[in-house]
Structure 1
Amino acid sequence: MKKSLEKEKMWFERIEKYKNSEFSMKQYCVKNDLIFTTFRYWASKYNKKNNTFTDKTNKSSWTKLEEISSTNKSSAFKVKIYSATIEVNENFDLITFENIIKVLKKLC
């Protein structure tokens, strides 16, 4: 096998492992001692070859909305972003909520 094909195979295997992980691309690179920009380069090649999308960070990080109580008539709900859950009550402050989301996106 040519060296370039071996390298491609190695990177594509890494990307498959990333896709099956719970981590964002940045988190996966840090955890596995990979250079983020190099990983993104190979992810782009993988996506073109397989007609897929592997960057979880560009997908919506909103995973689930759940009603807090079915008997509760308020408009409260929970927002889950990766491992963080935010309970949002009926009279929440939108600016504070947006700031919390921005901080969580940076941390997750």
Structure 2
Amino acid sequence: MANSQIDLEKAPLTDVISNLQADEKQGLSSAEAKKRLAQYGPNALEAKEETFMHKLIHAFMGPIEYMIEAAAVISAIIGHWDDFIIILVLLIFNVTIDLVSVKFS
């Protein structure tokens, strides 16, 4: 099949076509295409789905989220519980907006 000695990305087109044993005008024959499909599989990428838990955890990560989380922790440490609750609500609101925007984009 493909010669490992040639860099197909940088080789001239005629060399690539010759190396892949394809016809310049017709491409691969049906038989050869079926053979390669059976040998190598389809030329497709698998879609990877993230779980909701992964998306949720990722939504709490980032510079803005870290600043909000730090402010909440500092408010809790110094005992400003009203500020802590407000900051926590803002953090949850921010994460909710992030999750909804990712879902609909």
The alignment's TM-score, normalised by the length of structure 2, stands at: 0.31
Which one has a larger percent helix, Structure 1 or Structure 2?
Answer: 2
The alignment's TM-score, normalised by the length of structure 1, stands at: 0.31
